[in-house]
């Protein structure tokens, strides 16, 4: 299987790429700064990426930028930045991937625990994640040619200790657990699912 991992230099993207390679898949890495360069907030950049990479069996999007501020300090611009940097970026990848992924392939998005477990300063992230999670079941139902659409929603990662103080009382998840969830989304038969880790 040939899999495109967008956000492959990030903490989640590195885990996903390694998990897929460990299972014998060819992984094409894309990020803002290395591998195949892409700016997911720019539809033309995404189109250029797909043109350069060619057909793939799976696309994984493991990125998203959102502001973390108290809800009383969030501005309309902050919410727009979160929706642009995480939600609309991933939706645009899906929009373009549906015609590029081979029959029976998959597209996997990344949300996060803040959809179901609130933390202080997490309102913009929760909104961005929630929008993605609401999108997945309908997109999966309408996806052509047997293409599956899923999302993985991990808790804070063990490999990201600088975030642990924000996630009071949460259980950091190991790389192995995170990798397993993405393998399920890519290799399994599930579609329209948000896989919680």
* 111, 152 Cβ separation under 8 angstroms: yes
Using DSSP, state whether 63 is helix, strand or coil.
Answer: coil
User: Of how many residues is the chain composed?
Assistant: 197
* 168, 117 Cβ separation under 8 angstroms: no
Round to whole Å and give the CA distance between 81 and 117: 21
Range of the domain at 63: 2-196
Sequential pLDDT tens for the chain (197 residues) = 999 999 999 999 999 999 999 999 999 999 998 779 999 999 999 999 999 999 999 999 999 999 999 999 999 999 999 999 999 999 999 999 999 999 999 999 999 999 999 999 999 999 999 999 999 999 999 999 999 999 999 999 999 999 999 999 999 999 999 999 999 999 999 999 999 99
53: domain CATH number is 3.40.50.720
Q: Tokens 């940097």 map to which residue? A: 85
Domain count, the chain: 1
Q: In what order do the strands lie in the sheet with 26-31?
A: 36-37, 26-31, 2-6, 56-61, 101-110, 148-153, 194-196
51 phi, psi to nearest 5 deg: -65, -40
């Amino acid at each position: 299987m040939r899999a495109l991992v967008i956000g492959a230099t990030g903490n989640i993207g590195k885990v996903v790429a390694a998990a897929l390679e460990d299972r014998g898949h060819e992984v094409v890495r894309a990020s803002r700064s290395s591998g195949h360069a892409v700016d997911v907030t720019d539809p033309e950049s995404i189109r250029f990426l797909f043109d350069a990479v060619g057909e793939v069996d799976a696309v994984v999007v493991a990125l998203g930028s959102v502001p973390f501020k108290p809800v009383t300090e969030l501005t309309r611009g902050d919410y727009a930045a979160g929706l642009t940097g995480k939600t609309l970026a991933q939706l645009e990848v899906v929009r373009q991937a549906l015609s590029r992924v081979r029959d029976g392939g998959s597209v996997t998005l990344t949300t996060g625990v803040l959809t179901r477990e609130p933390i202080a300063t997490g309102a913009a992230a929760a909104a961005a994640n929630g929008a993605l999670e609401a999108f997945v079941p309908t997109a999966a139902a309408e996806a052509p040619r047997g293409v599956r659409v899923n999302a993985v929603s991990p808790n804070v990662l063990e490999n990201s200790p600088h975030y642990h103080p924000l996630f009071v009382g949460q259980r950091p998840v190991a790389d192995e657990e995170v990798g397993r969830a993405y393998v399920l989304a890519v290799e399994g038969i599930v579609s329209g699912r948000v896989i919680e880790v």
